[in-house]
Amino acid sequence: MSLIARAVIVVAVAVLLALQVVGTALVADRSTRTTIAGRLWPSHPSLLINRTMTEIGAHAARGESLPPATLRRVDEIAAKDPLAPEPFLIEGALAQVEQKQERAEKLFAAARTRDPRSAAARYFLADRYLRSGRVAPALAEIAVLSRLYPEARAQFGPALAAFAQMPGSVPQLRSFFRSSPELEPLVLLHLAEQPRNANLILALWGRRESGADAVPPGWQARLVNKLVEEVQFAKAHEIWRTVTGMPDSRGSIFNPGFAKIPVPPPFNWSFGTTGGVVEPATGDRLQVIYFGRNDAVLAEQLLLLPPGRYQLSTDISGPLGKGGEIAWTLACAGRAEPIFRLPVEAKGRLAGSFVVPPGCLAQRLQLTGAAGEFPQSQEFAVGKLQLVKGPSA
């Protein structure tokens, strides 16, 4: 093999070895230690390895081929320190290029034996195991890599997500996640980018904790929002309810008393962060301060109401004011024009009726503020909402 070809392979190996170095700061530290120690014993094998690997990493970072002197030093390392893992890694990569896969695997295994913390050795072995259909040992290598280098875990998400979509992968990944639970949310978060993966995600999910006191996993919000975007409201609600452990809220308002529970939107309340201050308060109330400077959505929830007539009612308390228009509105999801508007104009009982028309699969219930001509803050409290369906409403 030509010197140029060997240089290309070594640079490729250096990219993987960068996992061992883990960042520019560590490379700089290694360079400093090599310089100081080199003055005392410049020919020591450990210093030779440090200097060589630092050079390889630096050249790889710049996308440069290695000079012949560095390549010769690799052979010198193998001669001076036969227990060093780096020469085995490089020779293993060369064996792969020459299609000598069994020899490459033995060399990578030898490198791992010499340095069990070698990220490159475990990476190469994981790749070899996957390519030869040995999923269990490949996942074992990835699990060790994840524990050795937590900052590199995100890199495994896409690869494991791709594997998850292969036939027969679910039982193996579920077993893998039991021993490496830190990787489960990364894989599910990647899968959640595609709503078609909803059933696959539920099959892989460990279902370790749910209920009103549990913080839902990050992938849930992504998947639910993707399903809502694709107008798959029923599926979105099913995922939301399954993960949170909440009861079926279709046909009603979830959490009508605005309780502080870590259950995410869109089927629970979301509160505006601009235009005012909105916070749940004791006694089944929502405390609202609307600044009156800009139009704002102060509170919002996605409902799944069947077609029919409904009545919405609540109690309003507080000073209110005249700095803008406050109102409850209801609009079919995906449409701007509301089918219902209930102004909040005075303290006391507030009620109004509306009709959900056929074809309105989901509805956005919002408490809105519209800026007035002369901005002025308004402060009030909204009591527990009541929604009644029926012909007499």
Q: Is 18 helix (H, G, I), strand (E, B) or coil?
A: helix
pLDDT digits (tens, 9 = 90+) for 217-239: 889 999 999 999 999 999 999 99
Low-confidence ranges of the chain (pLDDT < 70): 1-66, 70-71, 73-75, 77-83, 94, 97, 152, 208-215, 323, 391-393
Q: If 0-12 CB within 10 Å is exposed, 13-18 middle and 19+ buried, where does residue 8 land?
A: middle
Structure tokens at 257: 């008393």
Q: What is the predicted pLDDT for the residue at 139? A: 86
Q: What is the predicted pLDDT for the residue at 257? A: 96
Structure tokens at 342: 């209930």
Q: What is the predicted pLDDT for the residue at 157? A: 80
Nearest residue to 42 (alpha-carbon basis) of 71, 68, 73, 21:
73
| 0.85 exceeded by pTM | no
The gap between the terminal CA atoms of the chain, to the nearest Å, is: 85
C-alpha to C-alpha distance for 93 and 91, rounded to whole angstroms? 5
Q: What is the predicted pLDDT for the residue at 82? A: 65
Chain-centre distance of CA 314, in angstroms? 38
Q: What is the DSSP string of 291-302?
A: -SSS-EEEEEEE
Q: Is 5 helix (H, G, I), strand (E, B) or coil?
A: helix
Which residue type sits at 22? V
Q: What is the predicted pLDDT for the residue at 59? A: 59
Which run of H or of E encompasses 237?
A: helix 233-244
Q: What is the predicted pLDDT for the residue at 386? A: 96
